[in-house]
Amino acid sequence: MKKIVVANWKLNPQTLEEAKDLYVKYRAFSREGNKTKVIVCPPYIYASSLANLAVKTGDPKVGVQDVFFENSGSWTGEIGPSMLKNIGMSYGIIGHSERRSLGETDEVVNKKVLASLASGISPIVCIGENIRDSHGDYLSFLKEQLVKALNKVTVKDLKNVIIAYEPVWAIGKKDSEAITPRDLRVMSIYIRKILSDIYGQKEVSSVPVLYGGSVSQKIAQNIIEEGKVQGLLVGRSSLDAEEFLGILKITENSKS
């Protein structure tokens, strides 16, 4: 399976020029035969301009940070999946914890996932516990988030789904506070088990599970190789060209 590295730029950078400059630097990584797929998710307003700068193969892919659950109608300020598809987008982050903290529920996340799939946008579905308790309640919390997010997603559509495991306690911290590769391995097996129970092991083997939360060059290799994930969702480090290109190189050369 190709590795996937998603750059989540959040509310950055401030100008289109800066966004283009970063994208062009990441484009230098894009080569036919790469083992890593790069998906850059800028703020909406930069998305088409960046997609126009892609190389012939369409790389790096450009995605968005949210996708609304309706395609048209009286929804002030929203952007729907078919509009995104029409400007050439194929990926959208859905259910990021920073959106959930603004009130997005599991039900809304599910509606967004279903609407995206129906329009040909691959959802990058974010799940992650807020805290880790010693009783293991976070495991059932995570299971509920995942099951609810994928409610009514068919086996056929599952092949277009990407899961991003992002423990909220590990986002926006120092890399030394990210999850340990060993704990990540347990979580990645756990997530696959939940999916397998619903869809069957064979179907789930092609679903990428990514990790997000304070990823840097320093920890990327262990996270991928020991953590047994198929890629990364990178926030702050994706705004620093040298750091992000380093992460891409590590991912490309990873042994797993």
Contacts to ligand PGA by CB under 6 A: 8, 166, 171-172, 212-215, 233-237
Question: What does the longest C-alpha to C-alpha distance in the chain come to?
Answer: 51
Under 8 Å between Cβ of 229 and 3: no
Nearer to ligand PGA, 215 or 224 (CB): 215
Helices (H) and strands (E) in the chain, counts: 11, 8
Active site residue 18: no
Active site residue 166: yes
CB of 101 to ligand PGA, least distance (A): 11
d(CA 6, CA 176): 21
Active-site residue, from 17, 18, 78, 166: 166
Active-site residue, from 96, 98, 129, 243: 96
CB of 202 to ligand PGA, least distance (A): 30
d(CA 15, CA 168): 28
CB of 170 to ligand PGA, least distance (A): 7
H or E stretch at 115: helix 106-119
What are the Cα distances from residue 72, in Å, to 64, 81, 113, 181? 18, 10, 16, 43
Shortest-Cβ-distance residue relative to ligand PGA = 235
Instruction: Collapse the DSSP code of 122 into the 3-class scheme (helix H, G, I; strand E, B; otherwise coil) and give the result.
Output: strand
CB of 93 to ligand PGA, least distance (A): 8
Active site residues: 96, 166
